[in-house]
Protein backbone atom coordinates (compact mmCIF):
# COMPACT_ATOMS: atom_id res chain seq x y z
CA UNK A 1 0.00 0.00 0.00
CA UNK A 2 1.42 3.39 -0.97
CA UNK A 3 1.78 5.90 1.86
CA UNK A 4 -0.10 9.21 1.63
CA UNK A 5 3.09 11.24 1.33
CA UNK A 6 4.40 8.91 -1.34
CA UNK A 7 1.11 9.19 -3.23
CA UNK A 8 1.44 12.97 -3.37
CA UNK A 9 5.04 12.77 -4.56
CA UNK A 10 4.09 10.12 -7.10
CA UNK A 11 1.34 12.23 -8.66
CA UNK A 12 3.60 15.26 -8.95
CA UNK A 13 6.26 13.33 -10.88
CA UNK A 14 4.07 12.00 -13.66
CA UNK A 15 5.25 12.78 -17.16
CA UNK A 16 2.50 14.60 -19.07
CA UNK A 17 2.41 14.69 -22.80
CA UNK A 18 -0.30 15.41 -25.31
CA UNK A 19 -0.56 12.48 -27.69
CA UNK A 20 -1.83 12.58 -31.24
CA UNK A 21 -2.82 9.89 -33.70
CA UNK A 22 -0.43 9.63 -36.60
CA UNK A 23 -0.64 8.28 -40.12
CA UNK A 24 2.05 5.91 -41.39
CA UNK A 25 3.09 6.67 -44.95
CA UNK A 26 5.11 4.80 -47.55
CA UNK A 27 6.62 6.21 -50.75
CA UNK A 28 6.85 4.51 -54.10
CA UNK A 29 10.08 5.04 -56.02
CA UNK A 30 9.81 7.60 -58.82
CA UNK A 31 9.19 6.29 -62.31
CA UNK A 32 10.63 7.96 -65.44
CA UNK A 33 12.07 10.69 -63.27
CA UNK A 34 8.65 11.86 -62.10
CA UNK A 35 7.98 11.82 -58.35
CA UNK A 36 4.90 9.92 -57.24
CA UNK A 37 2.64 11.24 -54.50
CA UNK A 38 2.98 9.39 -51.17
CA UNK A 39 0.45 6.64 -50.59
CA UNK A 40 -1.21 6.35 -47.18
CA UNK A 41 -0.96 2.81 -45.83
CA UNK A 42 -4.12 1.68 -44.01
CA UNK A 43 -2.74 0.82 -40.60
CA UNK A 44 -6.09 0.16 -38.99
CA UNK A 45 -6.79 1.92 -35.70
CA UNK A 46 -6.08 1.88 -31.99
CA UNK A 47 -8.83 1.74 -29.39
CA UNK A 48 -8.29 2.71 -25.76
CA UNK A 49 -10.80 1.96 -23.00
CA UNK A 50 -10.80 2.77 -19.28
CA UNK A 51 -12.77 1.88 -16.17
CA UNK A 52 -15.35 3.41 -13.90
CA UNK A 53 -15.52 7.17 -13.40
CA UNK A 54 -17.15 7.28 -9.96
CA UNK A 55 -16.91 10.78 -8.45
CA UNK A 56 -17.26 10.46 -4.70
CA UNK A 57 -17.56 13.62 -2.57
CA UNK A 58 -13.78 13.96 -2.20
CA UNK A 59 -13.38 13.81 -5.99
CA UNK A 60 -16.02 16.52 -6.48
CA UNK A 61 -14.33 18.67 -3.82
CA UNK A 62 -10.97 18.27 -5.57
CA UNK A 63 -12.45 19.30 -8.93
CA UNK A 64 -13.96 22.37 -7.28
CA UNK A 65 -10.56 23.26 -5.80
CA UNK A 66 -8.84 22.77 -9.17
CA UNK A 67 -11.38 25.14 -10.73
CA UNK A 68 -10.42 27.84 -8.25
CA UNK A 69 -13.78 27.71 -6.55
CA UNK A 70 -15.80 28.53 -9.65
CA UNK A 71 -17.43 25.37 -10.96
CA UNK A 72 -15.48 22.13 -11.33
CA UNK A 73 -12.40 21.21 -13.33
CA UNK A 74 -11.61 17.51 -13.77
CA UNK A 75 -8.95 18.19 -16.39
CA UNK A 76 -5.95 18.24 -14.02
CA UNK A 77 -7.24 15.04 -12.45
CA UNK A 78 -7.08 13.24 -15.80
CA UNK A 79 -3.95 14.89 -17.19
CA UNK A 80 -1.68 11.98 -16.26
CA UNK A 81 -3.32 9.70 -18.83
CA UNK A 82 -4.13 12.30 -21.45
CA UNK A 83 -1.27 11.30 -23.73
CA UNK A 84 -2.47 7.67 -23.79
CA UNK A 85 -6.12 8.59 -24.32
CA UNK A 86 -5.59 11.36 -26.87
CA UNK A 87 -3.04 9.23 -28.71
CA UNK A 88 -5.67 6.64 -29.64
CA UNK A 89 -7.85 6.79 -32.74
CA UNK A 90 -10.85 5.94 -30.55
CA UNK A 91 -11.10 6.27 -26.76
CA UNK A 92 -14.00 5.03 -24.61
CA UNK A 93 -14.68 5.73 -20.95
CA UNK A 94 -17.28 4.42 -18.52
CA UNK A 95 -19.45 7.04 -16.83
CA UNK A 96 -21.01 5.30 -13.84
CA UNK A 97 -23.06 8.24 -12.55
CA UNK A 98 -25.63 10.69 -13.84
CA UNK A 99 -25.33 14.47 -13.54
CA UNK A 100 -27.00 16.84 -11.12
CA UNK A 101 -28.18 20.42 -11.67
CA UNK A 102 -27.99 23.85 -10.06
CA UNK A 103 -25.02 22.95 -7.88
CA UNK A 104 -26.89 20.06 -6.27
CA UNK A 105 -24.29 17.30 -6.46
CA UNK A 106 -23.87 14.16 -4.38
CA UNK A 107 -20.85 11.90 -4.18
CA UNK A 108 -22.46 8.92 -2.46
CA UNK A 109 -25.35 6.54 -3.05
CA UNK A 110 -27.80 8.47 -5.17
CA UNK A 111 -24.89 9.92 -7.17
CA UNK A 112 -25.36 13.20 -9.05
CA UNK A 113 -22.09 14.43 -10.48
CA UNK A 114 -21.05 17.85 -11.83
CA UNK A 115 -21.75 18.09 -15.60
CA UNK A 116 -18.30 19.65 -16.22
CA UNK A 117 -17.03 16.08 -16.08
CA UNK A 118 -18.31 15.53 -19.64
CA UNK A 119 -16.37 18.52 -20.96
CA UNK A 120 -13.16 17.42 -19.29
CA UNK A 121 -13.44 13.82 -20.47
CA UNK A 122 -13.70 15.19 -24.01
CA UNK A 123 -10.73 17.51 -23.49
CA UNK A 124 -8.71 14.53 -22.25
CA UNK A 125 -9.35 12.85 -25.58
CA UNK A 126 -12.29 10.54 -25.02
CA UNK A 127 -14.69 10.08 -27.92
CA UNK A 128 -17.50 8.26 -26.15
CA UNK A 129 -18.65 6.68 -22.89
CA UNK A 130 -20.71 3.72 -21.80
CA UNK A 131 -23.50 4.90 -19.49
CA UNK A 132 -25.24 1.69 -18.38
CA UNK A 133 -24.54 1.00 -14.69
CA UNK A 134 -26.25 0.23 -11.42
CA UNK A 135 -26.34 4.02 -10.79
CA UNK A 136 -27.90 5.07 -14.10
CA UNK A 137 -31.31 5.51 -12.49
CA UNK A 138 -30.10 7.24 -9.32
CA UNK A 139 -32.14 10.32 -10.29
CA UNK A 140 -34.58 8.68 -12.65
CA UNK A 141 -35.27 9.93 -16.14
CA UNK A 142 -34.17 13.48 -15.22
CA UNK A 143 -30.70 12.29 -14.28
CA UNK A 144 -30.33 10.40 -17.54
CA UNK A 145 -31.49 13.39 -19.54
CA UNK A 146 -29.04 15.76 -17.81
CA UNK A 147 -26.15 13.33 -18.27
CA UNK A 148 -26.79 12.62 -21.94
CA UNK A 149 -27.46 16.29 -22.68
CA UNK A 150 -24.10 17.19 -21.12
CA UNK A 151 -22.32 14.49 -23.12
CA UNK A 152 -23.96 15.76 -26.29
CA UNK A 153 -22.82 19.33 -25.57
CA UNK A 154 -19.27 18.06 -25.03
CA UNK A 155 -19.31 16.12 -28.29
CA UNK A 156 -19.06 12.76 -26.53
CA UNK A 157 -21.00 9.83 -27.92
CA UNK A 158 -22.76 7.54 -25.45
CA UNK A 159 -24.24 4.06 -25.23
CA UNK A 160 -26.27 2.23 -22.59
CA UNK A 161 -28.86 4.80 -21.45
CA UNK A 162 -31.52 6.61 -23.44
CA UNK A 163 -33.93 9.53 -23.27
CA UNK A 164 -36.42 7.94 -25.66
CA UNK A 165 -37.27 4.57 -27.14
CA UNK A 166 -35.94 5.49 -30.62
CA UNK A 167 -32.64 6.52 -29.03
CA UNK A 168 -32.49 3.21 -27.15
CA UNK A 169 -32.95 1.28 -30.39
CA UNK A 170 -30.29 3.21 -32.27
CA UNK A 171 -26.74 1.83 -32.11
CA UNK A 172 -23.93 4.25 -31.27
CA UNK A 173 -21.46 4.22 -34.16
CA UNK A 174 -18.10 5.98 -34.03
CA UNK A 175 -15.46 6.47 -36.70
CA UNK A 176 -11.91 5.17 -36.18
CA UNK A 177 -9.69 5.59 -39.22
CA UNK A 178 -11.77 4.11 -42.02
CA UNK A 179 -13.58 1.71 -39.67
CA UNK A 180 -17.11 2.12 -38.35
CA UNK A 181 -17.17 0.99 -34.71
CA UNK A 182 -20.48 0.20 -32.99
CA UNK A 183 -20.49 0.67 -29.20
CA UNK A 184 -23.16 -1.17 -27.19
CA UNK A 185 -23.50 -1.09 -23.38
CA UNK A 186 -25.48 -2.99 -20.76
CA UNK A 187 -25.63 -3.44 -16.97
CA UNK A 188 -26.54 -6.38 -14.73
CA UNK A 189 -29.19 -4.17 -13.08
CA UNK A 190 -29.77 -0.88 -11.29
CA UNK A 191 -30.05 0.16 -7.66
CA UNK A 192 -33.55 1.44 -8.45
CA UNK A 193 -36.02 -1.31 -9.31
CA UNK A 194 -37.95 -1.78 -11.41
CA UNK A 195 -37.19 0.22 -14.52
CA UNK A 196 -39.57 3.16 -15.05
CA UNK A 197 -42.97 1.88 -16.19
CA UNK A 198 -43.07 4.51 -18.88
CA UNK A 199 -39.53 3.85 -20.05
CA UNK A 200 -38.33 0.25 -19.74
CA UNK A 201 -35.86 1.11 -22.50
CA UNK A 202 -34.09 3.77 -20.36
CA UNK A 203 -31.16 1.50 -19.42
CA UNK A 204 -29.74 -1.44 -21.34
CA UNK A 205 -29.90 -4.57 -19.17
CA UNK A 206 -27.70 -7.61 -19.72
CA UNK A 207 -29.69 -10.15 -21.70
CA UNK A 208 -27.76 -12.44 -24.01
CA UNK A 209 -30.35 -12.69 -26.82
CA UNK A 210 -30.80 -8.93 -26.84
CA UNK A 211 -27.04 -8.25 -26.86
CA UNK A 212 -26.52 -10.59 -29.80
CA UNK A 213 -29.52 -9.19 -31.67
CA UNK A 214 -28.20 -5.64 -31.19
CA UNK A 215 -24.69 -6.68 -32.28
CA UNK A 216 -26.01 -8.39 -35.41
CA UNK A 217 -28.20 -5.41 -36.25
CA UNK A 218 -25.21 -3.08 -35.90
CA UNK A 219 -23.13 -5.32 -38.14
CA UNK A 220 -25.91 -5.51 -40.72
CA UNK A 221 -26.12 -1.72 -40.68
CA UNK A 222 -22.43 -1.51 -41.63
CA UNK A 223 -20.36 -1.69 -38.44
CA UNK A 224 -16.88 -3.07 -39.10
CA UNK A 225 -16.18 -3.64 -35.39
CA UNK A 226 -18.66 -4.24 -32.56
CA UNK A 227 -17.57 -3.35 -29.01
CA UNK A 228 -19.73 -4.33 -26.04
CA UNK A 229 -19.38 -2.71 -22.60
CA UNK A 230 -20.74 -4.79 -19.70
CA UNK A 231 -21.28 -3.54 -16.15
CA UNK A 232 -21.08 -6.91 -14.41
CA UNK A 233 -19.27 -9.13 -11.94
CA UNK A 234 -18.93 -9.31 -8.17
CA UNK A 235 -17.67 -6.22 -6.35
CA UNK A 236 -14.21 -6.51 -4.76
CA UNK A 237 -13.59 -9.90 -6.38
CA UNK A 238 -10.55 -10.01 -8.64
CA UNK A 239 -11.47 -13.34 -10.21
CA UNK A 240 -14.33 -13.17 -12.73
CA UNK A 241 -17.47 -14.77 -11.35
CA UNK A 242 -19.49 -17.52 -12.99
CA UNK A 243 -21.85 -15.15 -14.79
CA UNK A 244 -18.92 -13.34 -16.38
CA UNK A 245 -17.23 -16.57 -17.45
CA UNK A 246 -20.37 -18.15 -18.92
CA UNK A 247 -21.56 -15.00 -20.70
CA UNK A 248 -18.10 -14.20 -22.07
CA UNK A 249 -17.78 -17.69 -23.56
CA UNK A 250 -21.23 -17.54 -25.09
CA UNK A 251 -20.97 -14.01 -26.53
CA UNK A 252 -17.54 -14.58 -28.07
CA UNK A 253 -18.67 -17.87 -29.63
CA UNK A 254 -21.58 -16.26 -31.52
CA UNK A 255 -20.85 -15.88 -35.23
CA UNK A 256 -22.61 -14.83 -38.39
CA UNK A 257 -20.91 -16.13 -41.52
CA UNK A 258 -17.14 -15.79 -41.30
CA UNK A 259 -17.17 -13.17 -38.55
CA UNK A 260 -17.89 -13.14 -34.83
CA UNK A 261 -20.83 -11.01 -33.79
CA UNK A 262 -18.74 -9.21 -31.13
CA UNK A 263 -15.13 -8.07 -31.52
CA UNK A 264 -14.27 -6.80 -28.02
CA UNK A 265 -15.82 -6.92 -24.53
CA UNK A 266 -15.05 -4.21 -21.95
CA UNK A 267 -16.00 -4.90 -18.33
CA UNK A 268 -16.63 -2.55 -15.41
CA UNK A 269 -18.25 -2.53 -11.94
CA UNK A 270 -16.10 -4.75 -9.68
CA UNK A 271 -14.12 -1.77 -8.21
CA UNK A 272 -10.87 -3.74 -8.65
CA UNK A 273 -8.79 -4.68 -11.70
CA UNK A 274 -9.70 -8.05 -13.16
CA UNK A 275 -8.13 -10.30 -15.77
CA UNK A 276 -7.91 -9.91 -19.53
CA UNK A 277 -8.53 -13.07 -21.55
CA UNK A 278 -8.74 -14.04 -25.22
CA UNK A 279 -11.76 -16.32 -25.68
CA UNK A 280 -12.79 -17.85 -29.00
CA UNK A 281 -10.37 -15.43 -30.66
CA UNK A 282 -11.90 -12.33 -29.04
CA UNK A 283 -10.42 -10.21 -26.24
CA UNK A 284 -12.41 -9.83 -23.05
CA UNK A 285 -11.55 -7.47 -20.19
CA UNK A 286 -13.50 -8.77 -17.23
CA UNK A 287 -12.98 -5.56 -15.28
CA UNK A 288 -10.83 -2.47 -15.66
CA UNK A 289 -11.35 -1.18 -12.11
CA UNK A 290 -12.10 2.38 -10.99
CA UNK A 291 -10.26 5.03 -12.98
CA UNK A 292 -11.55 7.76 -10.67
CA UNK A 293 -13.04 7.18 -7.20
CA UNK A 294 -12.56 8.44 -3.68
CA UNK A 295 -11.00 6.36 -0.92
CA UNK A 296 -13.12 3.21 -0.70
CA UNK A 297 -13.98 0.51 1.82
CA UNK A 298 -14.68 -3.00 0.62
CA UNK A 299 -17.60 -5.32 1.43
CA UNK A 300 -16.02 -6.02 4.83
CA UNK A 301 -16.02 -2.27 5.55
CA UNK A 302 -12.21 -2.20 5.45
CA UNK A 303 -10.31 0.55 3.57
CA UNK A 304 -9.12 -1.04 0.35
CA UNK A 305 -6.57 0.69 -1.93
CA UNK A 306 -7.47 -1.66 -4.78
CA UNK A 307 -10.53 0.55 -5.29
CA UNK A 308 -8.17 3.18 -6.71
CA UNK A 309 -6.28 0.84 -9.04
CA UNK A 310 -7.26 0.17 -12.64
CA UNK A 311 -6.08 -0.43 -16.16
CA UNK A 312 -6.45 1.15 -19.57
CA UNK A 313 -6.89 -1.39 -22.34
CA UNK A 314 -5.35 -0.56 -25.71
CA UNK A 315 -6.04 -2.64 -28.81
CA UNK A 316 -4.69 -2.22 -32.33
CA UNK A 317 -7.16 -3.38 -34.99
CA UNK A 318 -5.94 -4.28 -38.47
CA UNK A 319 -8.18 -4.35 -41.57
CA UNK A 320 -9.33 -7.74 -42.90
CA UNK A 321 -7.58 -9.39 -45.78
CA UNK A 322 -10.86 -10.22 -47.51
CA UNK A 323 -14.19 -8.38 -47.81
CA UNK A 324 -16.06 -10.70 -45.44
CA UNK A 325 -13.24 -11.03 -42.92
CA UNK A 326 -13.00 -9.52 -39.43
CA UNK A 327 -10.86 -6.66 -38.23
CA UNK A 328 -8.22 -8.50 -36.20
CA UNK A 329 -6.59 -7.29 -32.98
CA UNK A 330 -2.91 -7.50 -33.86
CA UNK A 331 -1.64 -5.89 -30.66
CA UNK A 332 -3.19 -6.02 -27.18
CA UNK A 333 -1.89 -3.93 -24.29
CA UNK A 334 -2.82 -2.84 -20.79
CA UNK A 335 -1.62 0.26 -18.97
CA UNK A 336 -1.71 0.13 -15.14
CA UNK A 337 -3.21 3.17 -13.43
CA UNK A 338 -3.64 4.51 -9.92
CA UNK A 339 -5.88 7.30 -8.62
CA UNK A 340 -4.02 9.23 -5.93
CA UNK A 341 -6.78 10.20 -3.51
CA UNK A 342 -4.64 12.80 -1.73
CA UNK A 343 -3.36 14.62 -4.81
CA UNK A 344 -6.57 14.03 -6.78
CA UNK A 345 -4.72 12.78 -9.85
CA UNK A 346 -4.86 9.72 -12.11
CA UNK A 347 -1.36 8.29 -12.40
CA UNK A 348 0.04 6.18 -15.23
CA UNK A 349 2.15 3.81 -13.14
CA UNK A 350 4.55 3.19 -16.02
CA UNK A 351 5.37 6.91 -16.24
CA UNK A 352 5.84 7.70 -12.56
CA UNK A 353 9.51 8.66 -12.44
CA UNK A 354 10.12 8.66 -8.69
CA UNK A 355 7.70 6.02 -7.44
CA UNK A 356 10.37 3.56 -6.42
CA UNK A 357 9.68 0.11 -5.02
CA UNK A 358 6.23 1.01 -3.71
CA UNK A 359 4.99 2.05 -7.14
CA UNK A 360 6.53 -1.03 -8.75
CA UNK A 361 4.81 -3.20 -6.17
CA UNK A 362 1.37 -1.80 -7.04
CA UNK A 363 2.09 -1.99 -10.76
CA UNK A 364 3.29 -5.59 -10.48
CA UNK A 365 0.24 -6.59 -8.44
CA UNK A 366 -2.06 -5.16 -11.13
CA UNK A 367 -0.06 -6.96 -13.80
CA UNK A 368 -0.37 -10.28 -11.95
CA UNK A 369 -4.16 -9.92 -11.80
CA UNK A 370 -4.46 -8.86 -15.45
CA UNK A 371 -2.39 -11.84 -16.63
CA UNK A 372 -3.93 -14.34 -14.19
CA UNK A 373 -5.93 -16.16 -16.87
CA UNK A 374 -3.08 -16.68 -19.31
CA UNK A 375 -3.39 -13.58 -21.49
CA UNK A 376 0.39 -13.30 -21.87
CA UNK A 377 0.49 -16.44 -24.00
CA UNK A 378 -1.96 -14.78 -26.39
CA UNK A 379 0.24 -11.70 -26.73
CA UNK A 380 -1.06 -9.27 -24.10
CA UNK A 381 1.73 -6.93 -22.99
CA UNK A 382 2.03 -4.04 -20.57
CA UNK A 383 2.22 -0.76 -22.46
CA UNK A 384 2.95 2.85 -21.63
pLDDT at 179 over 90: yes
Mean pLDDT of the chain: 89
Output the pLDDT for position 220: 96
User: How does pLDDT run across 210-229, given as a tens digit for each residue?
Assistant: 999 999 999 999 999 999 99
> Is 17 within a domain?
no
The whole-model pTM stands at 0.89
Query: In the structure, what pLDDT confidence band is assigned to residue 170 with cuts at 50, 70 and 90?
Result: very high
Residue 61 falls within a domain, yes or no? yes
The pLDDT of residue 286: 98
How many domains in the chain? 1
Tens-digit pLDDT profile for residues 81-120? 999 999 999 999 999 999 998 778 888 878 899 999 999 9
pLDDT band at 258 (very low <50, low <70, confident <90, very high): confident
CATH number, domain with residue 97: 3.60.21.10
Q: Please write the tens of the pLDDT for every residue from 268-296.
A: 999 999 999 999 999 999 999 999 999 99
In a domain, 193, yes or no: yes
In a domain, 2, yes or no: no
User: Within a domain: residue 185?
Assistant: yes
Band of pLDDT at residue 42, cut at 50, 70 and 90: low
pLDDT in the model for residue 51: 98
User: The domain containing residue 257 runs over which residues?
Assistant: 41-382
Percent of all residues in the chain with a pLDDT value above 90, rounded to a whole number: 78
CA-to-CA distance for 275 and 163, rounded, in angstroms? 33
The predicted structure's pLDDT at residue 21: 34
Tens of pLDDT, residues 289-317: 999 999 999 999 999 999 999 999 999 99
- pLDDT-derived band of residue 33, with 50, 70 and 90 as boundaries? very low
pLDDT band at 7 (very low <50, low <70, confident <90, very high): very low
Q: Would 288 be classed as within a structural domain?
A: yes
Residue 149 has pLDDT above 50, yes or no: yes
With helix as H, strand as E and coil as C, how does the chain read? CCCHHHHHHHHHCECCCCCCCCCCEECCCCECCECCCCEECCCCEEEEEEEEEECCHHHHHHHHHHCCCCCCCCHHHHHHHHHHHHCCCEEEEEECCEECECCECECCCCCEECCHHHHHHHHHCCCEEECCCCCCCCCHHHHHHHHHHHHHHHCCEEECECCCHHHHHCCEEEEECCEEEEEEEEECCCCCCCCCCCCCCCECECCHHHHHHHHHHHHHCCCCEEEEEEECCCCCCCCCCHHHHHHHHHHHHCEECCEECCCEEEEECCCCCCCEEEECCEEEECCCEEEEECCCECCCCCECHHHHEEEEEEEEEECCCCCCCCCEEEEEEEEEEEEECCCCEEEECCCECCCHHHHHHHHHHHHHHHCCCCHHHHCCEECC
Instruction: Provide the pLDDT confidence category of residue 354 given band limits of 50, 70 and 90.
Output: low
Lowest-confidence pick of 44-48, 96-100, 158-162, 270-274: 96-100
> Is residue 4 a part of any domain in this protein?
no
- Flag whether 258 is in a domain: yes
Answer whether residue 34 shows pLDDT above 60: no
User: 209 or 10: whose pLDDT is higher?
Assistant: 209
Question: In this model, does residue 331 exceed pLDDT 60?
Answer: yes
Place 200 in a pLDDT band, splitting at 50, 70 and 90: very high
Amino acid sequence: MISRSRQVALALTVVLAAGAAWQAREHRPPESGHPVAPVVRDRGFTLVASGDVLPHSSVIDRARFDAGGGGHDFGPMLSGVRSVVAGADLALCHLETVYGADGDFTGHSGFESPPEMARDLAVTGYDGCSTASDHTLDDGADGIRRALDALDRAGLRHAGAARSEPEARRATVLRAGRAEVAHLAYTYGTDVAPLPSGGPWAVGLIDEPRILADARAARKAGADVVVVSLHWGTEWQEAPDEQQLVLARSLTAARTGHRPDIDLILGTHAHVPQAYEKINGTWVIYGMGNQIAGAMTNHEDVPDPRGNQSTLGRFTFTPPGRPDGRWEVTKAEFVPQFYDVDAGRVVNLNRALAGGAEVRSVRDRIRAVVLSRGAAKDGLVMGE
